[in-house]
Amino acid sequence: MSKAQKNGSFYESVLKFFDNAAQHTGLHPGLLEQIKVCNAVYKMKFPVRIGNDYRVIEAYRVQHSHHRLPTKGGIRYSQRVNQEEVMALATLMSLKCAIVDVPFGGAKGGVTINPWDFTPKQLEKVTRRYTTELVRRNFIGPAIDVPAPDYGTGGREMSWIYDTYRALNDDDINAAGCVTGKPVSLNGIRGREEATGRGVFYGLREAAEYAPDMKKLGLTPGIAGKTMIVQGLGNVGSYTAKISQAEGDVVIVGVSEFEGAIYNPKGIDIFALLKHRKETGSILNFPGCKNFPQKQRNKVLEMPCDILVPAALENQITKENAPRIKAKIIGEAANGPITSEAERILLKKGVLIIPDVFLNAGGVTVSYFEWLKNLSHMRFGRMDKRFNQNTYARLIDLVETMTGKTVGKAERIFVARGADEIDLVRSGLEETMITAYESIRAAMKRKKKIHDLRTAAFFTAIEKIGNDYLAMGIFP
């Protein structure tokens, strides 16, 4: 199957998931069609001088839904990028924002290049030219459309976008809100880099708390001690693995990356593995692990584990390998890692699939916090950190006076500290992921004909977006 066909099947899978959930909503077919389609698709081609040559770059920006503004979604740099892939990702963004109650419409961008073929200076040229094209067509702005990092991009690219937008809109006092995922020194927010991976951890941890659901899988409640295989050690996969191990006592037993995969049923120290990869350039030959060569790296997905976390690209679990998956829980950290055909097979096997449209929403949630910070022009915690710290200190003094006992210095510092920006961001993200999972699970229990979390998540999002349109009076 060609890359174009694979990307097409990704979009088709998203539409199938949408249709499967839409039938349970009772909304008018015309309204469902409006929610389903992409409102605006902008395809562009522009020249960039690379050395002594000129490259014609193909790029996209898709705004899926304008039921709320601005629209929001990342920009990915990849040779795989095409229009249908970006449309699929934009569609998921609309639903994702609705599920976690972030007041954005969905969008997505893509530039069809391999970023590792370019020098930083050349990438800067491409990024600034792409941003200029978006500005010309009114496809970017703090109240219009707010990009963010995605596969192949990061804080560096977002800082170039911000600087280019600001240069072309020097009278926009809220210019910093035109893009999120910026470095903290350029009006970014602490906790954004880890946000998607931390959100994945919070979502998995919450799912594992429900004893009846775990009993069906033959597992005990709680995430501690459960075994996990992670596909992809990029930003999302590495943070998911690190936080799951450090804060959830999860046992990482398998890891897959571009160069191959490793497996050790006794556990892998993810921090030591990341150090090993930095020193050697590969995860292979990590002490105590079985190696899978590059061509067989996806075989590790079929090894025994409690939780499988695909954190790479779409279409990694298909009807071909789904029957051999042994995981009891699959947490979709990537977008669209399971095809619709594979999902049917996995659900018949009783696998609990925690869908991407919910699980990787940590990135857009913390992007929302960054956007709010940019519009308010104030760092979170600045107004109340010291007040809270002094209040807690006085409470400790009161307890000491009433009990006659003295609280130790270390304990006093721990209890009386006020919240920094990172504490507030993590707290807000944790609350968002827990509340969203509860609502999805409640929808599945309420709608007797819905039997899986993805359909429940899509149903929840479609219903919320539909209510927005109905409130506007567009669809009586």
Positive/negative CA dihedral, 78, 82, 88, 93: positive
Distance from C-alpha of 457 to C-alpha of 439, rounded to nearest angstrom: 9
Q: Estimate the crossing angle of helix 362-376 against helix 421-446, to 10 degrees.
A: 130
- Compute the CA torsion angle 81, 83, 84, 85 (nearest 10 deg): 30
User: The sheet that has 40-50: what strands, in order across it?
Assistant: 40-50, 53-63, 105-111, 71-77, 145-149
Residue at token pair 């530039």? 111
Given a contact cutoff of 8 angstroms between Cβ atoms, the answer to whether 264 and 233 are in contact is: no
Question: In 3D, which of 150, 85, 72 has the Cα closest to residue 115?
Answer: 150
What stretches of 302-384 show up as alpha helix (H) in DSSP?
Answer: 340-348, 356-359, 362-376
The H or E element containing residue 329 is strand 329-331
Does the annotation count 278 as an active-site position? no
The span from the CA of 342 to the CA of 318, in Å, is: 5
What backbone phi and psi angles, to 5 degrees, belong to 253?
Answer: -110, -15
Residues paired with residue 146 on neighbouring β-strands, in sequence order: 72
C-beta of residue 59 within 8 angstroms of C-beta of residue 110: yes
Amino acid identity of 71? T
What single letter denotes the amino acid at residue 188?
G
Nearest to 309 by CA among 237, 401, 397: 237
Which of the following is catalytic: 96, 108, 125, 373? Answer: 108
Q: How many alpha carbons fall within 13 Å on the CB side of residue 262?
A: 22
- Longest alpha-carbon distance in the chain: 79
Beta carbons of 78 and 153 less than 8 angstroms apart: no
Q: Which two tokens stand for residue 339?
A: 């095809």
Phi, psi of 354 (to 5 degrees): -100, 110
Report d(CA 309, CA 182) in Å as an integer.
26
Q: Which residues of 288-327 are buried (b: 16+ CB within 10 A; e: fewer)?
A: ebebbeeeebbbbbbbebbbbbbbbbbbbbbeeebeebeb
Alpha helices in 1-65 (DSSP H): 3-22, 29-36
Rg over CA atoms, the chain? 23
Task: Give catalytic residues, as residue numbers.
Answer: 108
